[in-house]
Amino acid sequence: MRIGRTLLAATALSLAAPAYAQDGRIDVLERQLAAQQQRIDQLEALVTNQTELLQQVTAPAPTPTPTPATSTLSAPIAGTAPPALQKLPTAMPAAEVAFRLPGLDVSGDLRLRQEWNFVDGRDRSRMAVRARLRATYAVSDTFSVGTQIATGDPDDPNSTDVTLGNFVDDFAVSLDQAWIRYHSGGLTALAGKFPQIFQRTDMLWDGDVSPQGVAAAYSAGLGGGAKLDARGIYFVIGEAAVARDSDMLGGQLALSAPLGSDFKAGLTGSYYHYRLGSVAGADTGDLRGNLLSAGRYLSDFYLIEAIGTLGWAGPSDRWPIAFTADYVRNLGAAVSGDAAFNLEFAAGRTVKPGDFRIAYNFSEVEVDSVLAAFSHDNIDLSTNYRLHGLGLSYVPASHLQLDLLWYHYRPLDPLYAGSLQSSDWLDRVRLAFMVSF
C-alpha cells in the first residue's frame, strides 16, 4: 500500500513538471509580446509625427504671380512667342516634387550639340554645351523675383554656348538674369535684366538676349476670344561716363483672334528706337555684321516690324500647323540695305513623348536692316544673307528633346560679302540633345 502511494505521488510529480515548464514559457512569451507591442506603438507615433511635419513642408504654395508668358501676354503661336519668356517657371503641384519651399520654383536645361560647317577649303566641326539654371520666388501676390545663371561668354549677349576644347578649361558661368516683377490684373512690370517680353523671331531678337532696364505689358480681352496686348521697354544698352548713354525705347501692339473653331490669327506691330550715343562698352561680337565708320555704326537704327501669324489646329492634336511672316525695315539706314523678311512654316509639336515637329524658313536680311548685336547667331553671317533653314524635332521621352537643323545660306549683296563670294552657298548642320527639368 505504501509502495502504491509512493508510485502514485511520483507519477503526479512527473506529470506536473511539464505543466510548470509550459506555464513559465507562456509567461516569457507574454512579456516579449508586451515589449514588442510597446516598440510598435512608439514607431507608429514617430511615423505619424514625421508625416505631419512632411505635409507642412510640402503643402501646396500660394498661387504665385502669373508670368507674362502665361497670364499677361497673348497665347504664343509657333515661331513668334519669346522662348525665354515661356521658360519662366510656373508653380508645380506638391505631388510632382519630393521637397519644395512655398513660393520657390526652380527649372533648368542642359544641351549638348554637335555642329558641322561645310565651306570650300575650310570645313569645320565642333561640339558645344549649354547649361542654364533659373529660379523664381513669389514674395507676395503681386511681387516676385527671378534669376538665371548660364554658361557662355558673359560679353556675348546672344549665345550661352561653350565650345568644348581649350585643353579642358573650365566653363565660364555668369549671372544671365536678375529681375523683379510686379503683376496686378492685366498689368505686368519688370525691372532689372529680364527675359524677352516681345513676340519675335530670331531674325531680329536672338532667344538668348535678355534686355536690361524696365519693361511693362498690359493685356486686355476684347470678347469672342480676341485679345490685345501692349508692351513697352526702356532698354539700357551702354552707360557712358562722358558721352551720351546708349539705349533703346521700344513698343509693341499685338492682336490675336480666333477665326472659327480651328483657326487663329495674329498681327503684331513694333517700333524700336535705338540711340547709340557711345559704343565704348561694345566688343567685336556687338559690332558684327553692320557697317562701321570710324569705330561707330554707320547707320542709325529706327526699326519698324510687322509679324503676321496664322495657326490651324491641324488634322490632330499632335499636328498643329502654323505660318509666320516677319518684316523689318530700318528707317535710319545710311545705305539702301535697310529691309529684311523671314517666312516660316511649321507642323507638329514638341509637348509629349513621341511628338515630332518639322519647320522650314526662308530669310533675306540686308546689311543694316537689323541691329546685328542682338539678332541670331545661327550662322556665321549676322546680316547680309539669304537663308534656307530646315529643322526636325523629336521628343523621345519626358524632359528630353532631339533637334536636327540644317542651314543653307550665302551672302546677299556682293558689295558687303568681304572675302566670301555671293554665289557660294555655305552649309551648317546641327544635332542637339537637350534635357530639361
CATH architecture of 68-436: Beta Barrel (2.40)
User: What span, in angstroms and rounded, lies between the C-alpha atoms of 421 and 87?
Assistant: 40
**DSSP conformation letters of 106-126:** EEEEEEEEEEEEE-TT--EEE
> Of 18-27, 98-107, 243-252, which range is least confident?
18-27
SS3 of residue 392 by DSSP: strand
**Residue 378 CA: distances (Å) to CA of 62, 86, 111:** 40, 20, 15
Instruction: Identify which has the larger pLDDT, 192 or 27.
Output: 192
As a 3-state breakdown, the chain gives helix, strand, coil percent values, each rounded to 5, of 15, 45, 40
SS3 of residue 360 by DSSP: strand
Residue 45: is its pLDDT beyond 80? no
Tell me which residue of 89, 92, 91, 166 sits closest to 126, measured CA to CA: 166
Residue 301: is its pLDDT beyond 50? yes
User: What span, in angstroms and rounded, lies between the C-alpha atoms of 326 and 305?
Assistant: 7
Confidence label for 74 from pLDDT (cuts 50, 70 and 90): very low
| Look-up of cell digits 520657390 | 104
Question: Would you state the pLDDT for residue 426?
Answer: 95
Show me where the domains of the chain are located: 1-57, 68-436
Convert the pLDDT of each residue in 336-377 to its tens digit: 999 999 999 999 999 999 999 999 999 999 999 999 999 999
Residue 37: is its pLDDT beyond 60? yes
Confidence label for 34 from pLDDT (cuts 50, 70 and 90): low
Give the mean pLDDT of the chain: 84
Kindly report the number of other CB atoms within 10 A of residue 87's CB atom: 18
Question: Would you state the pLDDT for residue 69?
Answer: 37
Strand partners, 406: 390, 429
Say what the pTM is.
Answer: 0.76
Question: Would you state the pLDDT for residue 48?
Answer: 64
> Of 12-21, 95-104, 118-127, 385-394, which range is least confident?
12-21
In percent, the amount of the chain with pLDDT more than 90 equals 64
Task: Please compute the mean of the pLDDT values over residues 285-311 and round it to a whole number.
Answer: 91
Question: Would you state the pLDDT for residue 121?
Answer: 72
